[in-house]
């Protein structure tokens, strides 16, 4: 094994930091719905890609700035998330069944994407892609930087809302003990709808970030599931900051592995970390 230069290691770690931010952003909504609503929402990934395709379409057909597309996509997804939760609540879908139902929804969304945009690759050509900053010997591409900032910003805001606002405290009480919370006047059905809507809106935001940096294909939906699930489980269910921190740890570990040894070893990192966490702190997940 040859030790990499500082420049190579630094640039690789930066790359890992950025992709870790995206893991965290994808994991944020998933963690909230899993930890606080007891819904294991596999469709979160499909929604993210649907958001990415909508960003691509609005941007390439109508010239809308990719970030401005969020003004349309995020509220739309918020409503979709609320509707989805209403259906789940109406039919009393259990956590395990939510996994099956949302898998079905994933397949439907994937088919819809393929029907509209075909299975061929789509690449959003935006002015952001050409901008990068040079700090010393390191390059910082703007789309990745934006993704990281959005991811950190959303995680912190969500954490603050849950911790310091009355509605956030009510949501946490609802997640802890719905019946007791209801006895204290917490409107559990309404809060659950809001939380599900927010989780879906986060998927839309993650989609815009995906479109900024990646070439899109419908089947790519499944490429992210394993590593983001690891980030969510390592970070802790229902914890807005945890998936981001775990995502960054995984991303940087994978990147360091790729910089030092064969890149084929990188996927082992996230799952080894997950197993280690499951063994060492099972109660924290």
Partner 1 sequence: MTFFASISRRSALALSATVAMGLGTAALAAPSGTPVKVGGTLALTGPLSATALIHKLVGEIYVEDLNKKNGLLGRPVEWVLKDDQSRPDLARTLYEQIVTVDKVDLLIGPYATANILSAMGVAQRYNKVLIHHTFGIPSLAKYDMHFPTWATGHVPEVTLPNMMFDVLNAGPKPPKTIAIVTSKFPATHFMSVGARDIAKKRGLSEVLYLEWEFGNRDFGPIASRLKEAKPDFIWAGVIALEGMLLLDAMKKIDYPAPQMFHYLPSPGPMLKSPDAKNALAVTIFEQHAPMMSNFGATEFAKTFNERAAKAGLPDTQVDTQAAASFAAWQVLEAAVNGTKSFDDKVLAAWLKKNTVNTIQGPMRFDGPSNYGDDLSKIKQVQNGEWVVIWPRASAKPGVKHLLP
Query: What residues line the site for partner 1 (CB under 8 A)?
Result: 4-5, 7-8, 11-12, 14-16, 18-19, 110-111, 114, 118-123, 125, 132, 134, 139, 141, 144, 213-215, 217-220, 223-224, 227, 251, 254-255, 258-259, 262-264, 266-267
CA distance 54 to 28: 20
Q: CB-wise, 187 or 220, nearer to partner 1?
A: 220
Which residue bears the tokens 């809308």?
64
Q: CB-wise, 90 or 134, nearer to partner 1?
A: 134
* Residue 139: strand, helix, or coil: strand
Q: Which helix (H) or strand (E) holds 264?
A: none
CA distance 101 to 94: 10
User: By the 8 A CB rule, do 53 and 203 touch?
Assistant: no
CA distance 266 to 285: 23
Q: How far is the CB of 6 from partner 1 (least distance, A)?
A: 11
For the chain, the residue count is 285
Q: CB-wise, 79 or 119, nearer to partner 1?
A: 119
Q: How far is the CB of 212 from partner 1 (least distance, A)?
A: 11
Q: How far is the CB of 240 from partner 1 (least distance, A)?
A: 23
Q: How far is the CB of 75 from partner 1 (least distance, A)?
A: 28
Q: CB-wise, 165 or 219, nearer to partner 1?
A: 219
Q: How far is the CB of 34 from partner 1 (least distance, A)?
A: 22
Q: CB-wise, 104 or 263, nearer to partner 1?
A: 263
User: By the 8 A CB rule, do 250 and 273 touch?
Assistant: yes
Task: For residue 132, give the nearest of 119, 144, 116 by alpha carbon.
Answer: 144
Contacts of 217 (CB under 8 A, 6+ apart): 119, 120, 121, 122
């Amino acid at each position: 094994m040859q030790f990499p230069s500082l420049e190579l290691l630094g640039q690789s770690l930066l790359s890992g930091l950025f992709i870790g931010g995206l893991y965290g952003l994808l994991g944020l909504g998933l963690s909230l719905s899993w930890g606080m609503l007891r819904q294991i929402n596999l469709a979160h990934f499909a929604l993210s890609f649907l958001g990415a395709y909508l960003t691509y379409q609005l941007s390439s057909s109508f010239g809308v700035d990719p970030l401005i597309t969020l003004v349309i996509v995020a509220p739309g997804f918020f409503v979709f998330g609320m509707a989805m939760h209403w259906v789940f609540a109406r039919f009393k879908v259990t956590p395990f069944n939510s996994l099956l139902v949302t898998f079905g929804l994933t397949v439907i969304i994937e088919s819809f994407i393929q029907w509209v945009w075909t299975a061929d690759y789509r690449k959003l050509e935006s002015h952001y892609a050409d901008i990068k900053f040079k700090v010393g010997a390191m390059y910082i591409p703007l789309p990745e930087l934006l993704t990281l900032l959005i991811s950190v910003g959303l995680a912190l805001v969500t954490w603050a809302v849950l911790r310091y606002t009355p509605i956030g405290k009510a949501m946490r009480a609802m997640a802890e003990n719905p019946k007791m919370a209801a006895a204290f006047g917490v409107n559990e059905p309404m809060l659950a709808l809001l939380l599900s809507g927010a989780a879906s809106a986060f998927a839309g935001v993650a989609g815009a970030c995906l479109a900024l940096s990646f070439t899109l294909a419908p089947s790519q939906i499944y490429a992210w599931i394993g590593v983001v699930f690891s980030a969510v489980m390592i970070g802790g269910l229902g914890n807005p900051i945890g998936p981001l921190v775990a995502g960054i740890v995984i991303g940087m570990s994978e990147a360091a592995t790729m910089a030092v040894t064969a890149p084929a070893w990188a996927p082992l990192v996230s799952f080894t970390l997950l197993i280690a966490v499951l063994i060492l702190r099972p109660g924290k997940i």
